[in-house]
């Protein structure tokens, strides 16, 4: 994946439907954004969509360390987690 020319101000992890659309919306407003997901195909899909939707400044990462290091300090990282029983069971 291509690294941003300089650290981004925002990072987002969790690229399901809501995360992917939020990342693209942020980039569309002119804010470069770093993205990460455990399932790397979601990262690739998001970066491809960003290219197709106007070459938006979305930078994808396949490993969490590179992702975190791509965001400037103090780090602003949006974490989106799919709802479900794994979070609601005691």
Would you say the pTM of this structure is higher than 0.75?
Answer: yes
* pLDDT, mean over the chain: 93
| 88 pLDDT tier (thresholds 50, 70, 90) | confident
E strand map for the chain: 10-13, 33-36, 58-61, 77-79
What is the average per-residue pLDDT within 24-53?
98
Q: 4-32, pLDDT tens digit by residue?
A: 779 999 999 999 999 999 999 999 999 99
CA distance 47 to 89: 34
| 1 pLDDT tier (thresholds 50, 70, 90) | low
Burial 24-55 (b: 16+ CB within 10 A, else e): bebbeeeebbbbbbeeeebbeebbebbeeeee
Q: What DSSP element (H or E) covers 44?
A: helix 40-52
Q: Which fold has domain 10-88?
A: Rossmann fold (3.40.50)
């Amino acid at each position: 994946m291509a690294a941003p020319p300089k650290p981004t101000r925002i990072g987002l992890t969790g690229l399901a439907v809501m995360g992917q659309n939020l990342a693209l919306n942020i980039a569309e407003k002119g804010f470069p954004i770093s993205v990460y997901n455990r399932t790397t195909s979601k990262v690739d899909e998001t970066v491809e969509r960003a290219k197709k939707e106007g070459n938006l400044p979305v930078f994808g990462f396949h490993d969490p360390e590179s992702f975190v290091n791509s965001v400037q300090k103090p780090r602003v990282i949006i974490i989106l987690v799919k709802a479900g029983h794994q979070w609601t069971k005691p």
